Amino acid sequence: MKLQNNTYHIQNIPVENLAKEFGTPLYVYDTEVIKEHLDRFREGFSSVDLRVKYACKALTNMSVMKFLLKQGTGLDTVSLPEIQMGLTVGFQPNDIVFTPNCVDFSEIEQAVEMGVKINIENLSNLEKFGQKYNGSVPVCIRLNPQIAAQANSEKVDWWHKQSKFGISLDQIDDIKALEKKYDLTIDGIHIHSSSVIMSPEIFISGAKAVFNIAMRFEKLAFIDFGGGIKVDVGDGNEVIDVIELGKQLDQEFSVFCEKYGRKLELWFEPGRYLVGNAGYLITTCVVRKRNGGTEFLGVDSGFNQLIRPMMYGAYHEIHNASNANGALKKYTVVGNICEIDNFAIDRMLPETKEGDIVIFKSAGAYGYSMASTYNSRFRPPEVMVEGGQARLVRRRDNYEDLVKNQILVG
Ligand code: LLP
């Protein structure tokens, strides 16, 4: 998003024009920003066979998924409908990985039928997998993130308590026993860990621990480092230098492959890194009011459309497209849901009046995909800007959408 002639533009289209054309609230995705992030992610890797699998849970719009397909990514999925969408968009089954957690084995069976790569994260499903397929279908093993967090000691305990994900390190012998019992073809090792890791050095020390474990598995084709790479959202918090990470990992992975005796693929499953900063929630300021000493700025959206501030205390930069350079004032920015619904408390923003267009940045990942119709409000439309052209890629909900599954009895 660029500031030109006192107003914000997405690929040279004034945000106010987008608001006028499509109405607010509105989600807008900028494909140039997606491409920039993907290029940056790939930049540091020069010798290894890097495969980026877009974690589409972050933003499950099929036009965005198609854009990423055209950029040569694969897909990371966590449910059967995500796989279905991926196949509809044109991803090859082989380029789709299914990394669910806590699912019934029948889902894994269906995913096998759909021909996608299977990632299993508990011993119980691994045993069932062995019983059903023996070694005929390759399987990837998801290990618990404590591996890569171990260098970050105060976080380790937290991980243990929080993490329902992956198979624990002290169960590697159990995995090996199942491998032997069913002649499993374990072709991948997966960890998803990186959001607690801020420096390439710590990441690398975690990666080395993974490489040591990988040496115990003879049939590997890839190692998957998951997603979780943070993106700079402008809150001043440190983010990992992905180019430097790429360079260091490229080197270490090559060393590992040499030791392993074969060139393996190196997988990542970024979601937010690719689409987080490419998305904007465009709203209109509809109410200005003062209660006590607080200046409230009410917009025509709410946590039903962007839940991250309320759910995680997440920071989203806010801008006024109608008065971009106005004098700064302190506001508490709220939504229209009938309970506490804060987007930001005591935020300095250019003076804002009713009717102004208010933009929430970094809303591409886990924005629309976590939206609901709470308070019986319509989910916003989604627009994708590609090659300077804005196209509607999902229409706004309507009343029929809201009630279509209800059965009125009595
Ligand atoms: N791979 C696996 C196995 C995952 O569990 C996730 C995300 C990803 C990849 C993608 O992670 P990313 O690169 O997008 O961080 N709703 C939260 C984020 C939940 C992430 C869950 N797993 C939020 O709004 O921040």
Cα of 383 from ligand 1 centre, angstroms: 23
Cα of 192 from ligand 1 centre, angstroms: 9
State residue 382's pLDDT score.
99
Least confident of 36-45, 93-102, 142-151, 392-401: 142-151
Closest ligand 1 atom to residue 119 Cα is 3
Q: Whose CA is nearest to atom 6 of ligand 1?
A: 227
Cα of 235 from ligand 1 centre, angstroms: 19
User: 292 CB contacts (<8 Å, ≥6 apart)?
Assistant: none
Closest ligand 1 atom to residue 58 Cα is 14
Q: Whose CA is nearest to atom 17 of ligand 1?
A: 366
Asked if residue 194 has pLDDT above 60, the reply is no
What does the DSSP 8-state code read for residue 195?
G
Closest ligand 1 atom to residue 274 Cα is 13
Q: Which of 272, 305, 316, 368 to mutate to test the pocket of ligand 1 (most atoms within 8 A of CB)?
A: 272
Average pLDDT score, the chain: 94
| DSSP alpha helix (H) spans, 261-390 | 272-275, 308-312
Distance CA 130, CA 120 (A): 11
Cα of 78 from ligand 1 centre, angstroms: 10
Q: Whose CA is nearest to atom 25 of ligand 1?
A: 366
Up-side HSE of residue 78: CA atoms within 13 Å toward CB? 16
Answer for the pair 9, 15: CB distance below 8 angstroms, yes or no: yes
Q: Whose CA is nearest to atom 23 of ligand 1?
A: 366
* Catalytic residue numbers, as ranges: 338
* Joined tokens for residue 53: 């699998």
Model confidence pLDDT, tens digit, residues 324-352: 999 999 999 999 999 999 999 999 999 99
Model confidence pLDDT, tens digit, residues 245-303: 999 999 999 999 999 999 999 999 999 999 999 999 999 999 999 999 999 999 999 99
Closest ligand 1 atom to residue 99 Cα is 3
State residue 206's pLDDT score.
85
Q: Whose CA is nearest to atom 8 of ligand 1?
A: 227
Alpha-carbon 388 to chain mean position: 25
Beta bridge partners of 76: 55, 97
Asked if residue 155 has pLDDT above 60, the reply is no
Q: Whose CA is nearest to atom 21 of ligand 1?
A: 228
User: How does residue 149 score in pLDDT terms, banded at 50, 70 and 90?
Assistant: low
All domains of the chain, ordered by start, with CATH? 2-29+277-403 (2.40.37.10), 60-270 (3.20.20.10)
| DSSP alpha helix (H) spans, 23-122 | 31-43, 62-70, 80-89, 105-113
Find, among 232, 235, 230, 237, the residue nearest to 315 by Cα. 235
Cα of 113 from ligand 1 centre, angstroms: 25
Residues lining ligand 1, Cβ inside 6 A: 55, 58, 76, 99, 192, 195, 226-229, 269-273, 308, 312, 365-366
Asked if residue 320 has pLDDT above 90, the reply is yes
Asked if residue 195 has pLDDT above 90, the reply is no
Cα of 271 from ligand 1 centre, angstroms: 6
Please tell me the pTM assigned to this model.
0.96
Closest ligand 1 atom to residue 273 Cα is 13
